[in-house]
Amino acid sequence: MWPLYAAGFTTAFGAHGIAANLGGASEDAVTSLLVLGGLLALYDGAEVLLKPVFGTVADRVGARPVLLGGLVAFAAASALYAAVGSPGWLWAARLGQGAAASAFSPAASALVARLSPVAGHGRAFGSYGFYKSVGYTLGPLLGGVLVWAGGLRLLFGVLAVVGAAVAVWALVAVPVVPPLPRARQTVLDLARRLADPAFLVPTGALAGATAALSVGVGFLPVSGAAAGLGTVATGAAVSVLAGCAAVVQPWAGRALDAGRIGVRGGLVGGLLVAAGGLGCATVPGPVGVLVAAALIGVGTGLITPLGFAALASATPRERLGQTMGAAELGRELGDAGGPLVVAGVAAALTLTYGYGVLAVLLAVGPVVGLVRRRW
């Protein structure tokens, strides 16, 4: 399992480590805010388009080859810019990284489910989510140190080494997991399965959690600055968010396996806690920022392992890659949609109203689910 956890760390570290430091790159690489936005969107756009595709491929040929191929491609794309260093190749390298992560991320999730017993899915996905959170937390910090020490090319070079090392580790340690026989599936069958509440509810909760997390990381520093906090203090607030998410995920997974919490109650509670965090963000002052960061982190940390464990248990094992790829697509849409909602409302009114609108959207799902009791 450890190489799979390392793969989760790699995709998170690569995504946030570069994204957080592109704006500080040399002028010949990022020449304007438009270029910066394009480079940021390139990685996420590749993931949105390709994760469901590679998830399906993993079911067809086996998740292990897709995992290994994605890690090797990630290392190669990173090495490309580290070796050449021209602005044009930065675009190619970032696109290559996003496409490669689209392959090995859902493959790793599928292998976590295949290689762990059903009764241990909560613990396994809790650990997987913990190491991804560590990557999200350390990425901006270590990436900044590497860019300061040797520029953007050094950061890409380190990512190439990390990707190659994890690929070798997975080749040695991850056992061969042959694809399972699959019944023929029509487009209508796929649509029915993806429209089932057993898929929609966990995926919707994961999308909501990712939306709250993305808004917390992106907008809480703005609120902190308005409250008079310096950059160090606002950075600490974001670290509180990521730290709470990292700590809660293994606990939530173990509690699920032990029967101390259920999937339904955990997802509902996580969304309400995250919504409460966004509500606290509307309170002026540093206390509101810190409490909001903690609650958003706890809510997302509670939802993530429970959501993936629910998807794994409700999915035929021969379709795990397809389901994980589709669920990752839902998370990516939440990652993009949350900030867009908050920014759109903030542009028309204020940031306080933006937080409030997203909090209401997150709370509506659990309330409707409790009233209808369909899942």
Q: Which of 186-195, 226-235, 289-298 has the lowest mean pLDDT?
A: 186-195
Q: What are 22-34's pLDDT values in tens digits?
A: 665 555 566 665 6
For the cut 90, the answer to whether the pLDDT of residue 134 exceeds it is no
Q: Tell me which of 219 and 39 has the higher pLDDT.
A: 219
- Estimate the crossing angle of helix 2-19 against helix 152-173, to 10 degrees: 170
pLDDT bin (cut points 50, 70, 90) of residue 19 is confident
For the cut 60, the answer to whether the pLDDT of residue 265 exceeds it is yes
CB-side exposure of 15: number of CA atoms within 13 Å? Answer: 28
Distance CA 278, CA 293 (A): 8
Q: What are 74-121's pLDDT values in tens digits?
A: 999 999 988 887 777 888 888 899 899 888 888 888 888 888 887 788
For the cut 60, the answer to whether the pLDDT of residue 298 exceeds it is yes
Average pLDDT, the chain: 81
Distance CA 365, CA 361 (A): 7
pLDDT, position 375: 47
**Per-residue pLDDT averaged across 163-186, rounded?**
79
pLDDT, position 274: 92
pLDDT, position 148: 82
Q: Tell me which of 215 and 231 has the higher pLDDT.
A: 215
**Per-residue pLDDT averaged across 178-194, rounded?**
57
Sequence-ordered list of residues with C-beta below 8 angstroms from that of 111, at least 6 positions apart, any chain: 4, 63, 64, 67, 174, 177
By three-state DSSP, how is residue 183 classified?
coil
Dig out the tokens for 235 from the structure.
Answer: 């950075």
pLDDT bin (cut points 50, 70, 90) of residue 323 is confident
Distance CA 9, CA 14 (A): 8
Sequence-ordered list of residues with C-beta below 8 angstroms from that of 145, at least 6 positions apart, any chain: none
Q: Looking at the whole model, is its pTM more than 0.85?
A: no
> Cα 221 to the chain's mean position, in Å?
20
Instruction: Please give the radius of gyration of the chain, using alpha carbons only, rounded to the nearest integer.
Output: 20
Q: What are 249-261's pLDDT values in tens digits?
A: 888 888 888 888 8
For the cut 90, the answer to whether the pLDDT of residue 71 exceeds it is yes
CB 5 within 8 A of CB 249: no
For the cut 70, the answer to whether the pLDDT of residue 235 exceeds it is no
pLDDT, position 161: 95
pLDDT bin (cut points 50, 70, 90) of residue 187 is low
